[in-house]
């Protein structure tokens, strides 16, 4: 899936719903996941993985062109930790569900 439109189309076809319904469900899932992770909680999907917040401390980096030190502030992002069954599938050790 390279685009949002392709994802929505595929989900709609696989689940037997309209594209509008698939878009609404996916939007709700991503909104809820982001809101939950922002509070510090994990969102887990058994057999797939868990979304959680990753925090990076402030640090000093380097400008690649000049080599001058650059201050990089603290940051947060969402990370996905894949489950053991998903890792096994990705490595070709098991068949797709």
Cα distance between residue 49 and residue 35, in whole Å: 17
How do residues 38-87 score in pLDDT, each as one tens digit? Answer: 999 999 999 999 999 999 999 999 999 999 999 999 999 999 999 999 99
96 located within any domain: no
Give the structural domain span for 67.
4-90
What pLDDT does residue 1 have? 53
Lowest-pLDDT choice from 10-24, 30-44, 67-81, 83-97:
83-97
Residue 46 has phi, psi (to 5 degrees) of: -55, 135
47 located within any domain: yes
Continuous H helices in 1-97: 4-15, 19-38, 84-90
Q: What is the CATH number of the domain that holds 33?
A: 4.10.520.10
What pLDDT does residue 2 have? 78
27 located within any domain: yes
pTM listed for this prediction? 0.76
The average pLDDT across 5-31 equals 97
What pLDDT does residue 30 have? 96
Cα distance between residue 73 and residue 17, in whole Å: 44
Domains in the chain: how many in total?
Answer: 1
Could you tell me if residue 31 is left (phi over 0), alpha (psi between -120 and 50 degrees) or otherwise beta?
A: alpha
């Amino acid at each position: 899936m390279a685009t949002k439109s392709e994802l929505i189309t595929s989900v709609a076809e696989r689940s037997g719903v309209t594209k509008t319904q698939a878009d609404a469900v996916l939007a709700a899932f991503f909104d809820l996941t982001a809101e939950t992770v922002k509070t510090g909680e994990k969102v887990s999907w058994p057999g797939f993985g868990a979304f959680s917040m990753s925090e990076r401390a402030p640090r000093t980096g380097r400008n690649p062109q000049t080599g001058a030190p650059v201050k990089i502030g603290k940051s947060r992002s969402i990370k996905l930790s894949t489950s053991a069954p998903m890792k096994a599938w990705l490595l070709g050790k098991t068949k797709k569900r």
